[in-house]
Amino acid sequence: MSSSVPCAADAASDEAGASIASPFGDKAIAFSICSAQNLAWFTLHPLEEQSLGEAVSLKRRSDFRVGRAAARRALEGVGFPVLTPVLRGENREPLWPLGIVGSIAHSGGYGIAAAAWQRDVPAIGVDIQEIEERYTDELIARFADPDEFDWVRSDPSKQTERAVRLFSAKESVFKALYPLRRVWFGFDVAHLAPGRDENSFRAAVRLPAVSSSVIELDVGITLFRNYVISGAVLVTPLAPAGSC
């Protein structure tokens, strides 16, 4: 398993960090989860404050802060040598230090992040989603292809959780790939095949603007309280778009 980095100086008192498994199976990837209720130790870097700006809601500020706290712990987890801000790009994507790949997500007062050295891992993405009874057939059909839709609905007792697993996995796939070419794409270009234990997927993405071949990613799933957490890893480097 990859390293899972708690967010409190005293991990035993940290409800978020002490009991969760990383969704990644690669030891080169550091994963961290933080709670907005336990950030007395953390202060945003001045450049992160500047990146956030002043005209933001309290919720957005809280989400940003807990996400950056998790990012800082993830950077520490891979041994990044200096305190470096994680700024925002024009589409609010995190801008990681040179030589680092990473991803941030937040939901319900929790922030998660993953980081790795680019020489070890080409791309990663993370996502966190609450398990809630809002996943109607109509909603599932918006992000699931026919095979995925049939899998989600094949066991009524697991339908909601499967829908959340699939949606979160697709989010993490997008977040892994987007920074590589800055290309937006819909969930319909990614097909996910579930693993036997339903705690993993193999993603196949067809995106000619990004790669001339099928892009494959491994996606791990872990559960925390009433949340699904996913982590996607690019399996092989991208083939140049338009190449034979």
What CATH number does residue 173 fall under?
3.90.470.20
99 and 153 in a single domain? The answer is no
Tell me what pLDDT residue 5 has: 67
Task: Band the pLDDT of 93: cuts 50, 70, 90.
Answer: very high
- If asked whether residues 92 and 142 sit together in one domain, one would say no
| 242 located within any domain | no
- For the chain, what is the mean pLDDT? 89
The pLDDT confidence band at residue 53, using thresholds 50, 70 and 90, is confident
* pLDDT value for 8: 46
Q: What pLDDT, on the 0 to 100 scale, is given for residue 10?
A: 31
Q: Are residues 80 and 188 located together in one domain of the fold?
A: no
Q: Are residues 51 and 8 in the same domain?
A: yes
Q: How confident is the model at residue 117 (pLDDT cuts 50, 70, 90)?
A: very high
Q: What pTM, to 2 d.p., does this model score?
A: 0.90
> Comparing 87-91, 137-141, 153-157, 208-212, which segment has the lowest mean pLDDT?
208-212
CA 27 to CA 29: how far, in whole Å? 5
180 inside domain: yes
What is the mean predicted confidence (pLDDT) over 228-238? 91
What residue numbers bound the domain in which 84 lies? 3-121
Asked, for residue 126, whether it belongs to a domain, the answer is no
Q: In this structure, are 10 and 57 located in the same domain?
A: yes
What's the total number of domains in the chain? 2
Shared domain check, 197 and 160: yes
Two structure tokens written together for 243:
């190449």
Answer yes or no: is 240 within a domain: no
CB 243 within 8 A of CB 212: yes
Q: Are residues 17 and 52 in the same domain?
A: yes
DSSP string, 112-173: EEEEEETTT-S-EEEEEEE--TT--HHHHHHH--HHHHHHHHSSGGGHHHHHHHHHHHHHHH
- Whether residue 47 is contained in a domain is answered as yes
pLDDT-derived band at 11 (thresholds 50, 70, 90) equals very low
Does residue 40 have a pLDDT over 50? yes
> Rounded to the nearest 5 degrees, what angle is found at the Cα of 173, between the Cα atoms of 170 and 177?
145
Per-residue pLDDT, 225:
92
Which ranges constitute the DSSP H helices of 15-145?
46-52, 58-77, 137-143
Same domain, 116 and 136: no
Instruction: Please give the pLDDT value at position 15.
Output: 47
Q: What is the largest CA-CA distance in the chain?
A: 55
d(CA 119, CA 150): 38
Is the pLDDT reported for residue 201 higher than 80?
yes
Are residues 174 and 206 located together in one domain of the fold?
Answer: yes
Residue 227 has pLDDT above 90, yes or no: yes
Mark whether 30 and 67 lie in a shared domain: yes
The alpha carbons of the chain give a radius of gyration, in whole angstroms, of 18
Torsion of CA 195, 139, 231, 107, to 10 degrees: -140
Q: Does the pLDDT value for residue 216 go beyond 60?
A: yes
Q: Which of 177, 31, 204 is nearest to 93 (CA)?
A: 177
pLDDT digits (tens, 9 = 90+) for 127-172: 999 999 889 999 999 999 999 999 999 999 999 999 999 999 999 9
Do 222 and 142 belong to one domain? yes
Residue with the larger pLDDT of the pair 18 and 205: 205
C-alpha pair distances (Å), 225 with each of 144, 194, 229, 234: 25, 22, 10, 27
88 lies in the same domain as 188: no
- Is residue 127, in this structure, part of any structural domain at all? no
